[in-house]
Every structure is written in structure tokens, then in C-alpha cells.
A and B are shown apart, each in its own frame.
Chain A
Amino acid sequence: MYVLLRQLAQLRRDAGLTRPSPPRSLALRHVDAGSCNGCEHELGLVISPRYDLQRYGLDIVASPRHADILLVTGPVTTRMAGALRIAYEAMPEPRLVAALGDCALGRGILGDPAELAGPLDDLLPVDIRIPGCPPSPRAIAEHLLAALEP
């Protein structure tokens, strides 16, 4: 394990990660509302050593009760629309909604319209838009960091 930790420290140095600026923080809650799993793969990497979003004070939390931002992926299927609304209602104010990926933004949607309740814009007030199919980990990190700016 110590070898692994040393390798990870080396990886951080090689990637030239900068120190975070002033202490601010946002807690993110992710909801998959029918994505192809591409956005989930890339979001998972945002908190891996090469991108390390946590050093900026952003982290993914386990409950909408702890969250400032609801990160939504997918075109919003009819079967996920209810759970998505419950997750949103469980969040404390002030809260933000981020549409992660082209499907959540209603772009180039594929599928049977009868199975889709989206796009997200019709269901929740979207504050942050992160385009891409899927957006790369770097793009996700950059858009979320912009939300930290006052």
C-alpha cells in the first residue's frame, strides 16, 4: 500500500496540480436520469488523482441533504423523473442544478419520446450547463470550478 501511495503522490507531481485558491466549497449530488454511463465514467475520474477536484473544495456527497449542486445526467426517462424530483426536493436552499452532458441539455436525444420526460430544462431550473458527449473530466472540472467564482 505504501508503494501505491508513493506512486499516487508521484502522479500528482507529474500532473503538475496546482494548489487550490481561497477556501470555498460546494457539495455535489449526482443523479443518473437515464444516461449511457459515459458521463458517470468521466465524473468518476474527476475525483481521481489526475484531476482531483477535492483539492478545490468540491466533492461528491452521498445524499441530496448534504448537497449544494444536483448534477443530472441523461435525457430524463419517465421512470427516473419521480426519483429526480424527490432528490431535488430533499436539497436545502440555496441549491443549484447542473445539466451534465448533451443528453441532459436536450441535445441529440435518441430514444422513444414516450419513454422520456425530459429535457431537464422542462423539469428543474438549470443553472450550470456542461456540454459534451460525454464531457471530458477536465471539462467537467472547469465548469464546476467556474461555479465557485463569486
Chain B
Amino acid sequence: MIPPVDGDRWRETIAQRLADGARFAGAWAVGTGPQAAWRVALLAPGRPAEVLSCPAREGRVPTIVDLVPAADWDEREAHDLHAIDFDGHEPMRALVAHPRDPAAWSTPVAGEGVHEVAVGPIHAGVIESGHFRLHVVGERILALDTRLFYKHRGLEHAAEGGDPACGLAHVGRACAACAVANSVAYAHAVERALGLWPDRDLRLARTLLLELERLYNHLHDIGALCAGVGYAPGAMAFAALKDRAQCVNERLAGHRFLFRTIAVGAGALAVDRAAVDSARGELRELRADAAATWRELEFAGSLQARLGAIGVLNYHAALQLGACGPAARAAGVPTDARGHSPRLWYDGDFRPAAPRESTGDVAARLQLRAAELETTCDLLDELLTHPLAPGTAAPAHEPRPLGLGLVESPRGATLAAVELAADRIARLRLRPGSYATWPAVAHAAAGNLLPDFPLINKSFELCYACVDR
């Protein structure tokens, strides 16, 4: 079992780990109320991931949110779903729960001319459901409260008690756009718990699928950002490119969103020589067309004029809030889980993409995605030089009751934690890159003009489905 840390020593233990260079990676509760335990996963460079556990004595655990602001959402979620009280977490605002009284979940903002603009859960376009409460004076945003979890389906809870394959079905359905990243993170977690290690074929196939997912997502996100400023030619051109990437997915792997291509303990994808050759050729053409279209965007004055110094997330805030993925990299934080993924095929010296300038604004996030398309296309070109066999994962070490998987999704580092008991899922926690980065959206929106909010939100382009689960 995971050795428990007593509540009296909890904060001091976490503070010590942070001082030693560890980084908060996610937290989850097991059980409810007085029977609950609170787990925190920490990552440190060059060391294996560590999970610390604190029993919730009388349903209470000391908060660490002042030491680790990134743990804010995790503690609020555990408060709502597992009835744990976090001593010192004040005010404890609802996150997953949807109380009627706005005071129970939103920031109190008062003063002359302050008013609220409420948006959602249903939006004016084809967008996922979620509610934004913007506190504004005139056109200026003072603060933003995001209220998500309208799409909470209880997927983790539904998977618990089932076998690992049943868990994969739930994780795979959490979000279509991150289906591969979520599934691979989950498969890694289960395989780690079962003592399995993937062979070369399995590492290759999963890496290919992750990069195919990144390709169509980044194309989509660039187009969505163009739509965010009403620049229709860019939005339409990138939508067409994204559709082409998804057609390649379908021909290569049988599904436009790469569903059912990941299994636990084995591969689920075999591709012959003709199919890899044809996909490689199509992706080379797609890459050239995407590069040409991107150049058009760089010279589109009406688009570029909207991007600079808007929605700034600086280096310090990105680190503090625990943002990850393109949003963090655009702020100059060189974080990318692909750099330390021995269970995948990435080189040991994988270097995260960096923007031209780490300004952390909408422009930097857009430009970073374009730079990452280049890396992804390089990787895909290399991965598609040989036919792919499904591969397998073979016993390599003793089984453990807990496994973690960390995978770089198109939106950042996605953590899956799986606790097994008698080969059944005792607890499943999926903490996608979007979950880690959502608090940064509110931070980046404050101080900007209200009409820029859709653009700022699009520049992060985080998932709701992933987060709501």
C-alpha cells in the first residue's frame, strides 16, 4: 500500500518535497468523508513519480493550496465529490457541484459600475457546454469565474469495480479530441500497476497515434483561433486541412478520431506497407499545404492586429497555476511530457518547441502550435517509414497496487492514476492537460476587453468534456 502521511505532518512533507524540486502532478480522493484518503502525485526530474497519501481524519485534510496553487481544482473537486474538508482552503468554492446561489461558486466583485455578464452553458456556436461569469466594468474584464462540469457523466465512478478493459472504454469516451492521449495515459497506468513494459512495436504504434491526434488537433485549434477573430478564410482553410488529417486517420487506423486503436497490455493497430506509404505521402502534401496556409495567416493584417499582448499568461503565473502544454510553452515554460516518456518512442533528447518570443499572449500560443506542427510532421514522417505491428507489453516487474501514466496530449500533460484491487479498478483518476490549464484561462482573461474573451478562450482551446468526465 501507499505509506500514509499523518495529517499533522502533511503540509511539512509536501513543502519539503517541493523544496527538493518536486512538482505537483495531480491529486485524487479515495473513499468518502471520514473513510476517505487523499493522494497527491509529485514528479521530480530524474526521479520516479511519488504518490503521498493522507488519511482524512474525521473527513478533514490540511490544505496545500497555499503551497501549490495548482492543487486548487483538485481539492475543490474532492470536496464536492468525496465530502472531504480541506482545513485552510478558504473560501471553498464549489467546482463540480452546481449550487444555485452564485455566492457559493463565484468571486465577490463589488464597486461602482461593476456588473456581471453571464454566458452559457449553451453558447452561440457549435461549442461545448460550460458557463462563464464575467465581472466587468464597461468593457474591461475584472475577473472571470468558469463554471464547468455541465457535462459531468461520472465516468471515473462508473469504471470503478470493473476490469481494466472496461475502464479503457470509459476513459476513451471522456473526450474525442484527446481520446488517444487519455487512453495511452490510462494504459500506461494500468500496465505500470500490472508490472508490464511495452515492446518496441507497441511504443512505436502508440507514439504514431499520439502524433496523429496532435496533428488534427493543432490544425483545428489554429482554425478555431481564426474563427475567434472572425477571420473566415483562415478558419475555413484550416478546417479543410483538419478534415484531410482526419481522413488520413480513417484510412490508416479505421477511425477519424482514432477510436479503438489503444488496448491495455497489447497493441490494437497493424498497418501494412502500402497503407503507411500512402499515409506518409498524404501527410507530406498536407504539411506543404498547411505551411503555405500558415504563411497567409502571418501576412493577414486584420488577424495579426488582434493577437499581440492579449490574454497574457506570463512565465511565473503559468508555473504557479500549473498550466501545461502549448499554453505553458508559449509562456516560456519548457514543459513537455514527451521529453521523458520511456514507454513511448520519443528520443531521450526530445526538445519542446519554443515560441519566437515567450510573450505568453494569444500570438505566442498561436505561433507555438504552428511550430509544433513541424515537429509532429517530422515525427510522423519518421514513424511511417516502416509497417506497424501491434506489439505487446510483457511482464517486467512485480505488480503494484497503484500505477500512474503521464502523456503529452495536444493540450498538455495528461495524468492517469489507477488503483487496482484484485485486478479490478478500485479508483481511477483522469487529470487531462485541459484540467491543469483551465485556471490559467481565468487568469489570462482578467484585465482584457470583453470582446477579446472568445479569442483568449480559443487561444487556449481547452476541452470541456475531458475536464467534466
Contacts and interface: CB of A to CB of B under 8 A. Distances in A.
B129 A49 contact: no
Contacts of B177: 37-38, 41
A147 interface: no
Contact of A31 (B98, B122, B259): B122
A3 B127 CA distance: 29
Contacts of A87: 122
B240 A37 contact: no
Contact of A79 (B128, B152, B170): B152
Name which of B170, B234, B239 has the most chain A CB atoms within 10 A of its CB. B239
A149 interface: no
A32 B129 contact: yes
Contacts of A43: 126
Given A32-B129, A79-B98, A112 B157 contact: yes
Interface string A18-42: 0000000000001111111110111
Contact of B124 (A40, A63, A83): A63
The DSSP consensus for interface residues of chain A is mixed
Nearest to B124: A62
Contacts, number: 131
B122 A5 contact: no
Contact of A1 (B240, B243, B296): B296
Given A34-B151, A77-B153, A112-B153, A60 B296 contact: no
A146 B122 CA distance: 26
Contacts of B220: 41
A113 to B, nearest CB: 8
Given A34-B151, A37-B176, A75-B153, A111 B233 contact: no
B169 A37 contact: no
Interface residues of B, number: 46
A125 interface: no
Given A62-B125, A110-B170, A37 B154 contact: no
A77 B150 contact: yes
A143 interface: no
Contacts of B158: 110-112
B173 A45 contact: no
Contact of B153 (A40, A45, A110): A110
Interface string A37-68: 11011111100111000000000101100000
A83 B240 contact: no
Contacts of B152: 34, 77, 79, 115
B155 interface: yes
B239 A45 contact: yes
A80 interface: yes
A83 B122 contact: yes
A34 B293 CA distance: 34
A44 B173 CA distance: 19
B174 A36 contact: yes
Interface in B279-298: 293, 296
Nearest to A33: B129
B243 A7 contact: no
A131 B209 CA distance: 25
B443 interface: no
B257 A38 contact: yes
Given A37-B175, A45-B243, A49-B240, A133 B259 contact: yes
A137 B126 CA distance: 14
B176 A134 contact: yes
Given A3-B296, A50-B240, A40 B150 contact: no
A11 B150 contact: no
Nearest to B147: A79
Contacts of B237: 4, 7-8, 49
A8 B236 contact: yes
B126 A60 contact: yes
Contacts of A7: 237, 293
B195 interface: no
A35 to B, nearest CB: 7
B153 A44 contact: no
Q: What are the 5 closest A-B residue pairs judged by CB atoms, nearest first? A: A112-B154, A38-B176, A111-B153, A48-B239, A62-B124
Given A31-B122, A42-B256, 17 more contacts: A1-B233, A1-B296, A4-B237, A8-B236, A30-B125, A32-B151, A45-B239, A48-B240, A50-B243, A79-B151, A80-B129, A80-B150, A110-B158, A111-B154, A115-B153, A116-B153, A136-B256
9 contacts: A4-B300, A34-B150, A34-B468, A40-B126, A48-B236, A110-B170, A111-B154, A112-B154, A115-B154
